[in-house]
A = this chain, B = another copy of it.
Amino acid sequence: MQKEITIKSSKRDELIDISNEIYSVLKESQVKEGICFLYVPHATAAIIINENYDPNICDDFTDALKKLIPQGIWRHDSIDSNADSHIKAAICGPSESIPIKEGKLQLGTWQSPMLTEFDGPRSRKLIIKIIGD
């Protein structure tokens, strides 16, 4: 079973917790054991699994990547000012997979899947695939 939903970002760099969206698709699927596969079909966004309790860690994460991959110093920036967004997205990757057990995602207590926006604000497509064992 597969669903495509839309997630809206509001800043250039932003982490958006997508747990609720995924859980509603998981419930609809009625799958109890399997894998939840997440994919963003965008070259300036990514999916990560990140700490979900302290919102500061989300800003720390986007700040860390800004320091490592600064904006405006790349060849591609002569065409479009988002080379840094592409590089960050390629490093983080467009997908994550999470095991499903007894109808629940086997996330750790502090883990949440997050859509990672590197060139917002934009409207992003998120593909959620629930695969039963």
Contact = CB atoms under 8 A, between A and B. Distances in A.
B68 A111 contact: no
Contact of A106 (B41, B52, B69, B133): B41
A41 B107 contact: yes
B42 A57 contact: no
Interface residues of A, number: 54
A94 to B, nearest CB: 5
A87 B94 CA distance: 17
Contact of A86 (B42, B51, B76, B94): B51
A64 interface: yes
A16 interface: no
Nearest to A107: B41
A88 to B, nearest CB: 9
Contacts of A39: 97-99, 106
A50 B83 CA distance: 11
A86 B52 CA distance: 10
A59 B75 contact: yes
A90 interface: yes
Interface in A69-104: 69, 74-76, 78-80, 83, 86-87, 90-99, 101
